Homo-oligomer: A and B are copies of this chain.
Amino acid sequence: MTDIRLTNDPLDINACISAVMTPQAGGIDVFIGTVRDHTKGKTVLWLEFEAYESMAIMEMQKIVASATEQWPLHRLVLHHRTGRLEVGEVPVVIAVSAAHRDAAFAACLYIIDTLKQTVPIWKKEFFEDGEVWVAAHP
C-alpha cells in the first residue's frame, strides 16, 4: 500500500501513521518536516509552498517506486502540503512500515532526501524585510 498526496489542507500526522500500521510490520519510521522560525539567523514569518502539481505527483511516485524496489517495505505514506504555512506547521509527512527497522529508516531518509532534490515544489520564505525563493540564487 502506498499513498501519495499533494494538498492545500493541513496534514494529518496521526492518519499517516495509522495508515502504515499493520500486524506484519515490526517497525515504523516517520519523518515530519516542520516550518522553522528562523533561517540563517533571520526570523521567518511564514512560508509559501508552490508545486508543479502534475509533475510533482509523478516525481513522488518515482521516489516511492524506487524506495519499494530498494527495501522490503509494507506500507508507505508520502504527503506534502502546498500554500501558506505558519511557523510550526507541517509541510511534509513520510511514514514507512517494514518488517525490520533498518529498512524503514533507510527508506524514509531516502524519500525525504530525494524529494528535496527532484520534486518540483518551491518554498518562499517571508521575512519582515522581504521575501526569498529558497535556493533560487547562487
Do A29 and B31 touch (CB < 8 A)?
yes
Number of interface residues of A (CB under 8 A): 31
Complex copy number for this chain? 2
A4 at the interface (CB under 8 A from B): no
**Is the CB of A76 closer than 8 A to any CB of chain B?**
no
A36 at the B interface (CB under 8 A): yes
Q: Beyond the given A23-B36, A27-B112, could you list 9 further A-B residue pairs with CB under 8 A, ordered by the A residue number?
A: A14-B14, A23-B37, A24-B37, A26-B34, A26-B36, A28-B34, A29-B31, A34-B97, A105-B105
Binding site for B on A (CB under 8 A): 13-14, 17, 21-38, 87-88, 97, 99, 101, 104-105, 108-109, 112
